[in-house]
Amino acid sequence: MLETIEVQEIKVIPRDRLLEECDALFGTGYRLVQICSLNIPEGFEMNYSFGKDFHMVTIRFSVGFDEAVPSITHIWKGAFLYENEIKDLYGVNIENMAVDYNGKFYDVDGIHPFAAKRPESEA
């Protein structure tokens, strides 16, 4: 086979283990590749991808609409851009960002334009 398939390594963790996992990855030389959010019925699914050489691992957890996600900017400084993006587009509550643009990073119409409509009981 000519083409090498990308290894899809996804690790599902509880939200409160995020920083612990990130510390371990940083310590072994991984760097942040991306952070991505998805709408799920109970809130948001968060995906953090990290790369070292050509290996990529993605950490995944879910978070409720109003639950807070700890920032990882004290581990990877460059994470502030992804965190501001997710905060602006989805309205995910990310705490303790090293650089917080306070909702002004994305100058787009509407508040949290990528967020799905919340169930009425949550709104």
Partner 1 sequence: MSQHTVIPFGPQHPVLPEPLHFDLVLEDETILDAIPQIGYIHRGLELLVEKRDYQDYVFVAERICGICSFMHGMGYCMAVEEVMHAQVPDRALFLRTLWCELSRIHSHLLWLGLAADAFGFENLFQASWRERELILDMIEETTGGRVIFGSCLVGGVKRDVDADTLGRIVKMLESMKHDLGKLADVFIEDITVRHRLAGVGVLTEKDAYELGAVGPMLRASGVSYDVRKRNYAAYGGIDFDVVTETGGDCYARALVRIREIHQSVEIIKQVVARIPGGDIAVKVTGMPQGEAFARVEQPRGEALYFVRGNGTKFLERFRVRTPTFANIPAMISVLKGQTLSDVPNIILTIDPCISCTER
The least distance separating partner 1 from the CB of residue 88, rounded to whole angstroms, comes to 9
Count CB neighbours of 48 within 10 A: 25
The least distance separating partner 1 from the CB of residue 97, rounded to whole angstroms, comes to 13
What is the signed CA dihedral for 51, 42, 96, 59, rounded to 10 degrees?
Answer: -20
CB 115 within 8 A of CB 91: yes
Which position among 8, 16, 28, 123 is part of the footprint of partner 1 (CB under 8 A)?
8
Calpha distance 27→16 (Å, rounded): 19
Which position among 18, 22, 32, 97 is part of the footprint of partner 1 (CB under 8 A)?
32
- How many residues line the site for partner 1 (CB under 8 A)? 31
Which tokens belong to 101?
């643009």
Which position among 4, 16, 28, 117 is part of the footprint of partner 1 (CB under 8 A)?
4
In the window 34-93, what residues touch partner 1 (CB under 8 A)? Answer: 34, 36, 38, 47, 49, 53-54, 56, 58, 76-78, 80-81
Q: Is 98 in the site for partner 1 (CB under 8 A)?
A: no
Count CB neighbours of 85 within 10 A: 19
